[in-house]
A and B are shown apart, each in its own frame.
Chain A
């Protein structure tokens, strides 16, 4: 009796059934615990980056992913006003490529961008094996099993939120950009000193970017690798590494740390923290340059005359009030 109770097949069956029940419970709990809105009060992580949920469906043509360099330096409102392109910055502090991949999957659940811009600095963020595993899990199963991201919401969970469907109400005027008028100049040496050396891109980052490339191809989206000006997180070795990476994959790569005179960039006025991130003034200059580049290289639609996008004009007015320049 004892023997038959614990045969290999019964053990395997029991284990599989147990894991299935666990997975179902986790799925159910994930649904119940997930924020049902994208406002800060709803408990969603990085509400600004997730503001695309409440933009009209399929209204965003350019999705920007990456780390803080991206949300500091890319200005969707400037791009809108000068070129009429609709864009959203879904960048997060310390977002690594696996995080960008997970974010892109979320974006594709409600938007159909024609172009994805990946800020490349995050490719060099060093992560340990544990973080890599967590990132890999999040980029593959992070959405259905969002309980691991939102488990701490048990503290603020309201019964009315548990079973209702998500309804996104946040309206981010800056479309994901973080505004800062603070000026803290960088007055150190030139950091882009030409060299033939390259910095190694961590394999896990390469793998994740390759997944982003695949995802973009599957959805007919073009991918642009972009590096914002950043003295403290960028150098020529990294430039060489990404340039080589992009060439091998036949991807365009724009490094805004080179020839900064092209867009009249000035480290003494355009950084908010001494050379790491751009301030609003720097973001405006950079975005104007990116806009021209996009106009030359991509077939993007100017929506400024389209009445369906009139709210973008309103947002731009509000944006101008907020930047106070």
Chain B
């Protein structure tokens, strides 16, 4: 049941909204929990057990951490300073052990189900290379729906409890709902417990504004997904599935259109899920903030898949860069090398861990690791060369904050992102190598305009529809970037204009959407992770 399917949007979401609002306030969370588990069961019945296991594991671990903390709080009153110190140390170790075991369990499930086939295949190849006959069995494992998302939410929850950000919740239903909430379970956003759990349990009635604004957001998401992303899909599939037969020009166009496709699709999906949640009076954290206005790759990742970036920042980057070992290393580097390197080394090491995690989170394969390393190297180079850039800019009297320079930086970032997305979409690392080689050895630039592009799964009209859709999204994005809240602005218009806008958008989806005869339903790309 894809979020863009009619079954999800009409009977499922419609029934949930009606039931939710029809229930007494204190039982509304039950409707959400039940709906979330039904949604999960309908989509992936055989893997529901893994969601349950992770839920019970983090719930029990949280309760255990509470008990350890409560025991400490109770005992410390009777102890002197030294006794408190000793006890704190013991309690610290106990909490660390509970947290580590829980993380090991939930990440173990994820690692086994997601990475075992990749790891075993590579180990077997290695064993074959050194002429050893023993092999690891090849298992066909089903990846549980949304495991990469709910595992990060579960891990974030238990780490926050361990760090003392908040106490673990004694309510199993609340933890279960936080991890399984149906709009988020397939593609995120990856929420923190203190961001959504309270709202989920609050049972706030849907207001007229919630319902209409939520519906508008869903409509906007459908526009991005069906009019732009799904229309671009046949071209992207044709180009990347047969990359050996394409020229460099076609492959460049494939990379650009895939970048457009994945943005429209992922951000469109986030609009649909945020709209669904809003109809229930729940605000989900934002996952996109107009990433193609980013002036650097760092900036891009602050605007793209925001909740993943924030998760990696809070639980990987800070954990590594602020660890005692790196603090010592940084101090030594500052003393013996230079203050610049002293600051750079822990950041570079922490970034390395972040991008390794980012890469493998997206999938089990060398290309995903390479994808992480691609961005790591760009960021590392940026950090290393920043003093040089600053000096050059000063010498050349360039205004780095000026409009023209900003446009250049945006274009440069887009170019780097298209490169990264091409790697992401390529069938394998080898295929990406082939694509890059084609771009440099067989560009055939005339194919940009000689009509070749119009015979690769989509025609000229499709290109016009995609371009027009992109222009609409661009205009809205520019207005949003300037601080306009589009839905608020539209709500302030008179009813004729307001309804004309809504009806135009609906009719645009109905007429220009890529669906029906001749189109296969396109699964959400980020739903595969």
Contacts and interface: CB of A to CB of B under 8 A. Distances in A.
A151 B510 contact: yes
Nearest to A26: B510
B517 A45 contact: yes
25 contacts: A6-B208, A21-B499, A22-B503, A25-B507, A26-B507, A29-B507, A29-B510, A33-B511, A45-B517, A129-B7, A129-B42, A130-B1, A130-B5, A130-B6, A130-B7, A133-B6, A133-B7, A133-B11, A134-B6, A147-B510, A148-B516, A149-B516, A151-B510, A151-B513, A152-B518
B459 interface: yes
A56 to B, nearest CB: 29
Interface residues of A, number: 22
A11 to B, nearest CB: 5
DSSP class of B's interface residues: helix, strand, loop or mixed?
A: helix
Interface residues of B, number: 25
Contacts of A133: 6-7, 10-11
A293 interface: no
A18 B5 contact: no
Given A29-B507, A133-B6, A133-B11, 8 more contacts: A45-B517, A128-B7, A130-B6, A130-B521, A149-B516, A152-B516, A152-B517, A155-B459
A19 to B, nearest CB: 11
Given A21-B503, A130-B1, A151 B511 contact: yes
Nearest to A30: B510
Contacts of A6: 208
A21 B500 CA distance: 10
Interface in B427-462: 459, 461
A298 interface: no
Interface string B497-512: 0010011001100111
B205 to A, nearest CB: 12
Interface string B270-289: 00000000000000000000
Contacts of A159: none
B122 to A, nearest CB: 36
A303 to B, nearest CB: 35
A148 B208 contact: no
Interface in A32-48: 33, 45
Interface string B516-528: 1110010000000
B512 A154 contact: yes
Interface of B: 1-2, 5-7, 10-11, 42, 208, 459, 461, 499, 502-503, 506-507, 510-513, 515-518, 521
A-B complex: 5 closest residue pairs judged by Cβ atoms: A155-B461, A130-B5, A130-B7, A129-B7, A151-B511
B281 to A, nearest CB: 15
Interface of A: 6, 11, 18, 21-22, 25-26, 29, 33, 45, 128-130, 133-134, 147-149, 151-152, 154-155
A54 to B, nearest CB: 21
Contacts of A22: 503, 506
Contacts of A29: 507, 510-511
A8 to B, nearest CB: 9
B503 to A, nearest CB: 6
B178 to A, nearest CB: 27
Given A11-B208, A22-B503, A149 B6 contact: no
A117 to B, nearest CB: 25
Contacts of A25: 503, 507
Contacts of A134: 6
Contacts of B7: 128-130, 133
Nearest to A129: B7
Contact of A154 (B5, B511, B521): B511
Highest count of chain A CB atoms <10 Å: which of B5, B42, B518: B5
A134 B11 CA distance: 12
B1 A129 contact: yes
A149 B517 contact: yes
Nearest to B504: A25
A129 B5 CA distance: 10
Contacts of A21: 499, 503
A56 B499 CA distance: 45
B211 to A, nearest CB: 8
Contacts of A128: 7
B14 to A, nearest CB: 12
Nearest to B209: A6
Contacts of A149: 516-517
Contacts of B208: 6, 11
A147 B511 contact: yes
Contact of A151 (B503, B516, B521): B516
A155 B518 CA distance: 14
A36 to B, nearest CB: 18
A64 to B, nearest CB: 21
Nearest to B11: A133
A128 B8 CA distance: 12
Nearest to B495: A14
A21 B499 CA distance: 10
Highest count of chain A CB atoms <10 Å: which of B1, B7, B42, B461: B7
A155 B512 CA distance: 9
A35 to B, nearest CB: 12
A38 to B, nearest CB: 15
Nearest to A45: B517
B515 to A, nearest CB: 8
Nearest to A14: B495
Contacts of B2: 130
B368 to A, nearest CB: 30
Nearest to A156: B461
Highest count of chain A CB atoms <10 Å: which of B5, B7, B42, B510: B510
A152 B515 CA distance: 9
A34 to B, nearest CB: 13
A49 B208 CA distance: 47
A44 to B, nearest CB: 11
Nearest to B459: A155
A155 B208 CA distance: 38
Highest count of chain B CB atoms <10 Å: which of A26, A45, A133, A152: A152
Contacts of B42: 129
A33 to B, nearest CB: 8
Nearest to A154: B511
Contacts of A154: 461, 511-512
Nearest to A137: B6
Highest count of chain B CB atoms <10 Å: which of A18, A133, A134, A151: A151
Nearest to A147: B510
B231 to A, nearest CB: 10
A129 B521 CA distance: 13
Contacts of B10: 133
A128 B1 CA distance: 9
A133 B2 CA distance: 14
Contacts of B11: 133
A2 B181 CA distance: 33
Contacts of B6: 130, 133-134
A154 B513 CA distance: 11
B520 to A, nearest CB: 12
B272 to A, nearest CB: 15
Nearest to A5: B208
Contacts of B502: 18
A265 B7 CA distance: 44
B406 to A, nearest CB: 38
A129 B41 CA distance: 14
A134 B5 CA distance: 10
Highest count of chain A CB atoms <10 Å: which of B502, B511, B515: B511
A119 B102 CA distance: 57
Contacts of A148: 510, 516
A101 to B, nearest CB: 18
Nearest to A132: B7
